[in-house]
Structure 1
Amino acid sequence: MRYLMGIDLGTSSVKAMITDENGVIHGLGQVGYEIHTPEIGYVQQDPLKWWTATKEAVRQAIKCVDFTTEKIQGIGLSGQMHGMVALDENKKVLYPAIIHLDARSTEERKIIQEIAADLIQSELMNQPSTGMMICSLLWIKNHMEQQYEKIRYVLSPKDYIRFQLTGEISSEVSDASATLAFSVKNRSWCKALFKRLDLKEDIWPKVLNSQEIAGTITKEVHHETGLPENTKVVAGAGDCFAAMVGNGIIKTGIMTCNIGTSSQIAVVTDKPICDSDMQCQLWCHAVPGVWAYQGGALNGGGTLSWAKNKMLCDGTSFEELDREIQKVPAGSNGITFLPYLAGERTPFNNPKARGVYYGLNLKQGKYDMLRATVEGVLYNLMECKKIFDAQNLPQEMLIASGGGARGMSWKQIQADMFAMPVYTTETVEEACMGAAVLAAVGTGIYGNIEEACKKMVKIKEKPVEPIWENHVRYKEGLQIFEELYDNLKGMFEKNKH
């Protein structure tokens, strides 16, 4: 039996998983870390703490197995997307990583929209948003000139971890396409954009395919983690795409709804799609030759965590909350929630949007508010699905992933809103599994990603079916949600917090 490791660098923790070539999990490690918000709008993390946590997670996973680590054939990476790690000429971190939740670059986003102009439609095929690498880099250039001049390399978060594992600097197509510095059309860095923004052109790493070998484990990492020296490490993928691979979402017409700290709804397409208003994103999939057309929202499961822990101060487990939320009728007894605690990227590209509960009365309780929180996240994703529908994109099957694939309330509300059966897989850690699948292909265990998914990813036969009366209620609720946002978006501009 041959074994593989998948490492997923999330927003709140890193996970390391060991699986065999049939997708059976043998070891799992997880270590958390903090998000720092030194000022309003600033959201950053320490890359060195990521690396310390990664080494510990790897050691934890290795302790779980009863075989020698020499049987691990390859390692794949997954990680939070859009963020930026800046390194100097000695490959040392210059500044805390500016991650995807960051909103400091509001003005830079506007500058890029104006200067990039035609490149947005023709090359980038996406609108810039705060928290994306190109905006963060321009912010550093405009506000921290001395640090900018020292930058020699810029990396996405998981690419920094791969650098620490191998000593090699590179990126790969899925994460690169989400930097907004990459031509999604041509699958290469957009040098014309760098010239227009007067940005350095020699700091961008080489771009690999996701299953391509990027390096091998160094002697130092071997001593620190127990991973065998010279074990092959593949390029990997951004967490959205690693999770898609880990759930077998690799063919045209399969749609996914992923609820992690943030949330995404995406459909696989064999051709680049670009709606005229560019409300959704088009990224290069980890699978060669296909793309993912995505509504990537900043607010997801983390929004429910906020409501539970910070607003209601509820110590109940998420499992118990899930059971209680299921008891509340669709529509949350009249409460509508705008989930924009961190602003929003899709479909309303509005970093100043904020969270709002509407329709409160004396009869409602905390579980009504918590269900409304879940519904608000999914209403926002429904807005994205409406854009998919307008593009006539095939949506033949819906697979749920992330934390939202574990809670029955999340799945049932998805089924009811989207009017589709919601399937899930047997996969426990989708992004880690996707990274392991890519490693299995890169190391030659399987010939391609489709073959690897057939062996390593199992879809559960029984889906969650929609309740049609709930679907009718949610169609009405979506209209209220839309009107609420439209009526408040002017107020968001006036809010200083």
Structure 2
Amino acid sequence: MGYLAGIDLGTSSVKVLVMDPDGRTLAVSSRGYDVMTPKMSYAEQEPQVWWDCTVMAIREAMEKSGIKPEELDGIGLSGQMHGLVAFDRDNEPVMPAIIWMDQRSAEETARIKELAGGLLDTELLNQPGAGMMICSLLWLKRHRPDTYDRIEHVMLPKDYIRYRLTGTIGSDYSDACATLAFSVKGRSWCMELIKRAGLKEDIWPAVGESSQVAGHVWAEAAARTGLSEHTRVVYGAGDSSAQLTGNGVIEEGIMACNIGTASQLAAVVDRPLYDTQMRLQTWCHTVADRWYVQGGALNGGSTLSWLKKKVLRDDRPYRELDAEAGQVPAGAEGLLFIPYLAGERTPFMDPYAKGVYFGMGMKHEQAHMIRATMEGVIFNLKECALVLDEMGIQRRKMIASGGAAKGVTWKQIQADILEMPVYTTKTEEEACQGAAILAAVGCGMYRDIKEACSRIVKINDCPVEPVMEHVKRYREQQELFRELYLKVKDLYPRLKTE
């Protein structure tokens, strides 16, 4: 029997999962790393740190799995989207990676939108946002021309890991489309926009299907990781589409609510539908004839992590915070949280936005702050769900994933605010499993992704149902949430943050 591995390069850690072709997990390993913020609004990471952590996680996972290196048939990759890894002529990074959280390119974002013009509707199907590759590249050209001039190749974060594994440079449709230099409709680099922006035209990588084999583990990586040169490596996917795949969300009308570091609400469609107001994103899926419309918010579990570590300085595990939040009534007794600690992208494109606690009174305690923080994340996603409804996109079934899928209170808040039963899968690591599913297809174990998902992904029987009393309360607060943001948004640019 051959085995498979999925590698997910996240924002705070890299995870490696080893499984058999039926989806039985043999081992999971992870290694963490930090986000560097050398200046306000900057967010960077060192690619070499990613690789060092990946090597350690691979070695540990393979050891825990008990399989021999030559028994690992394929590896799939998943990774944080939008970011920029830039290589020089020696295939070495010219600087730390500028990741999706980075907000330095706010001015360049406006310029890219202006230059794109009608391409937004005919090709891109999305509007640019700070932290997206094309915006970061234009920022480098304007502010660090010496660094920009050294760039010979660009790639996304997980593509760097595949390069270190195989020695080949490339990307896949689901990840490339989120650079905003890519035609979602035409599934190719949007050279017209690249020319209009005056960016280099020969630095963009070849693009393949997510389950397509990109190469084999080469000798240098085999020596570092202990893997076999026999093992194939597929192109992989951006983490959003990998998570959807790992949860079996590949058919029209099925949606997912994922809350990890960031948060996403995504619905699968069978044609490239898009929001004409550009409040949501439309990305290519891992399945060739599928797309998904997504509210990809910059703020998710990171807000609870910030509260836990920097405000409360609480060392307890998140499950205990989840339980504490559950002791407070729905609506946190009037305490409301605007969760835009990292700026925001959807549904309000606002790189200047910040967090706001509103309505705090003497009766409010720590538990209220925890619950209000969790609710604020879902209120923002509900704004995205309302846009899906405007677009006429079906929402027949919802799968919850990420850290919030493990919390009892988190899941109930999702069910109550989104007004849908919340299902979960038996998947331990959704993005890793999605990446491994792609490898299974690439290695010929399954005919296609649909067949692989039907065999591997298993959904738990009992969903969390909405509580009508909570639903009514949250509908009232939803209106207040929206109105509060609209009243304070013009104040954000006036804040002195340097």
Q: What is the identity percentage for the equivalent residue pairs of Structure 1 and Structure 2?
A: 53
Matched residue, 1:215: 215
Match of 1:256, SS?
strand
Counterpart contact for 2:73–2:230, Cα < 8 Å: no
Please tell me whether residue 254 in structure 1 is matched to residue 254 in structure 2. Answer: yes
Matched residue, 2:78: 78
Counterpart contact for 2:275–2:281, Cα < 8 Å: no
Matched residue, 2:306: 306
Deviations 1:165-191 (A, max 9, x none): 000000000100000000001000000
CA distance in 2, matches of 1:344, 1:320: 28
**Which structure 1 residue ranges, 5 or more long, are not aligned?**
none
CA distance in 1, matches of 2:366, 2:73: 49
Amino acid at match of 1:438: L
Structure 1 vs Structure 2 CA RMSD: 0.7
Matched residue, 1:126: 126
Match of 1:244, SS?
helix
Compute the displacement of 1:234 (Å): 0.3
1:265-344 alignment runs, 5 A limit: 265-344=265-344
Amino acid at match of 1:29: S
Matched residue, 2:361: 361
Amino acid at match of 1:453: C
Larger displacement relative to structure 2 (140-149 or 4-13) = 140-149
**Which structure 2 residue ranges, 5 or more long, are not aligned?**
none
Match of 1:423, SS?
coil
Matched residue, 2:479: 479
Compute the displacement of 1:194 (Å): 1.0
Matched residue, 1:140: 140
Matched residue, 1:493: 493
Match of 1:198, SS?
coil
CA distance in 2, matches of 1:61, 1:274: 40
Compute the displacement of 1:319 (Å): 1.2
Please tell me whether residue 41 in structure 1 is matched to residue 58 in structure 2. Answer: no
Match of 2:490, SS?
helix
Deviations 1:418-460 (A, max 9, x none): 1111000000000000000000000000000011011111111
Q: For this pair of structures, how many residues does the alignment match?
A: 497
Amino acid at match of 1:246: G
Compute the displacement of 1:280 (Å): 0.2
Matched residue, 1:426: 426
Amino acid at match of 2:119: L
Length-normalised TM-score, structure 1: 0.99
CA distance in 1, matches of 2:444, 2:496: 54
Matched residue, 1:99: 99
Matched residue, 1:7: 7
Deviations 1:213-243 (A, max 9, x none): 0111011211111111131000000011101
Please tell me whether residue 242 in structure 1 is matched to residue 249 in structure 2. Answer: no
Matched residue, 1:438: 438
CA distance in 2, matches of 1:198, 1:67: 50
1:19-34 alignment runs, 5 A limit: 19-34=19-34
Counterpart contact for 2:70–2:230, Cα < 8 Å: no
Please tell me whether residue 51 in structure 1 is matched to residue 51 in structure 2. Answer: yes
Matched residue, 1:352: 352
CA distance in 2, matches of 1:62, 1:231: 13
Compute the displacement of 1:66 (Å): 2.1
Match of 1:30, SS?
strand
Counterpart contact for 2:84–2:97, Cα < 8 Å: yes
Length-normalised TM-score, structure 2: 0.99
Matched residue, 1:400: 400
Match of 2:416, SS?
helix
Match of 2:491, SS?
helix
